[in-house]
């Protein structure tokens, strides 16, 4: 087990270094096209780095938000890949649909700490969660932006372990980011299904679902924290005889626009939305200058 973890860390490190190399290639073209910085928000940022952020080093303000102490780990890790350290901001707090105090159920596995458990459900998972919850001051997204004097997001990621509907409602009631990346629950014995509600809410707000990244597991919540299930081959559906339980999906929603801007295309490129980039570019390129088109076409060659 320990050897496997070491191998995973090495492989992960190499992948992040590869991302950094690619970011350096994209950087000159972003520089030629972009004047103002993007505002990228990561809600539920603890313990993990959103790798796409690396593409925006020097072109963005990054806001990491999480009530868990593992936020410090993410902050330090991201600084290893960023030259522009001043652009990385951390907030050890939480977002909800309104400003209030809520019970926070802290887990021994920090990435599954949550506001969305009831005390009875938490008691059934006593080997995963600490015996006492903590009262934490949470903020509506509007209040959070106002208190900290922050701009509205261009892109936002939400990963809040079952609390996503309240956080999403808070975000879209006061802002319209181009990209919303959100983890939705589908089949989960402890966190309520949220995929359909998220999709319905965002469709009404003028978003469409671009893609999902599925997460497989077991319908027993505890087993998902300890077991390694057989891999599902997403490249070959016909001969894929292993059909694991679909627990969650990382969903990527895009704001519908009649015309996308150069800044929008940079965000598409940096977040790997390659087919969308090409499709929208064909429809929008007539609005851009020759030099802008040259840069945008070179960007596409790097990301395709």
Beta bridge partners of 55: none
Q: What is the pLDDT of residue 14?
A: 86
User: Where along the chain do its domains lie?
Assistant: 18-303
At residue 79, the pLDDT reads: 94
Chain centroid, CA 12 distance in Å? 17
Q: Does domain 18-303 sit in CATH 3.60.10.10? A: no
Per-residue pLDDT at 240 exceeds 80? no
pLDDT tens digits, one per residue of 210-223: 999 988 876 565 55
Residue 19 makes CB contacts below 8 A (sequence gap 6+) with 51, 54, 55, 81
CA distance 238 to 137: 50
Specify the higher pLDDT residue, 1 or 250: 250
Looking only at the bridges linking them, the beta strands covering 134-140 and 207-217 are unpaired
Helix then strand then coil, % of the chain, to nearest 5:
40, 20, 35
How far is residue 104's CA from residue 117's CA, in Å, rounded to a whole number?
A: 9
| Tens-place pLDDT, residues 247-281 | 899 999 999 999 999 999 999 999 999 999 999 99
Indicate the pTM of the whole model.
0.92
DSSP lists the bridge partners of residue 184 as 249
Q: Is residue 225 over pLDDT 60?
A: no
Angle made by CA atoms 51, 107, 100, in degrees to the nearest 5? 85
Contact assessment for residue 123 and residue 133, using Cβ atoms and an 8 Å cutoff: no
């Amino acid at each position: 087990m320990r050897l496997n973890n070491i191998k995973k860390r090495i492989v992960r490190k190499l992948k992040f270094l590869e991302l950094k190399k690619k970011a350096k290639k994209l950087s000159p073209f972003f520089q030629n096209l972009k004047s103002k910085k993007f505002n990228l928000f990561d809600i539920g940022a603890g313990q993990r780095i959103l790798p796409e952020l690396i593409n925006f080093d020097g072109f963005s303000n990054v806001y990491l938000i999480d009530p868990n102490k593992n936020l410090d780990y993410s902050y330090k890790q991201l600084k290893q890949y960023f030259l522009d350290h001043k652009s990385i901001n951390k907030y050890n707090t939480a977002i909800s649909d309104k400003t209030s105090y809520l019970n926070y159920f802290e887990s021994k596995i920090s990435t599954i700490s949550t506001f969305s458990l009831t005390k009875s459900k938490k008691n059934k998972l006593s080997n995963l969660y600490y015996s006492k919850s903590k009262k934490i001051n949470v903020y509506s997204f509007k209040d959070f932006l106002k208190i900290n004097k922050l701009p509205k997001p261009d892109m936002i990621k939400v990963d809040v372990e079952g609390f996503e509907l309240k956080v999403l409602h808070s975000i879209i009631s006061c802002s319209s980011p181009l990209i919303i990346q959100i983890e939705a629950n589908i089949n989960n014995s402890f966190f309520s299904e949220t995929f359909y509600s998220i999709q319905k809410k965002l469709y009404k707000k003028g978003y469409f679902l671009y893609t999902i990244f599925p997460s497989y597991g077991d319908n027993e919540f505890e087993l998902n924290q300890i077991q390694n299930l057989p891999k599902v081959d997403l490249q070959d559906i016909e001969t894929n005889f292993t059909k694991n339980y679909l627990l969650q999906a990382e969903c990527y929603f895009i704001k519908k626009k009649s015309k996308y801007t150069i800044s929008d295309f940079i965000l598409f490129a940096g977040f790997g939305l390659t087919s969308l980039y090409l499709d929208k570019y064909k429809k929008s390129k007539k609005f851009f200058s020759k030099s802008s088109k040259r840069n945008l076409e070179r960007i596409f060659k790097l990301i395709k």
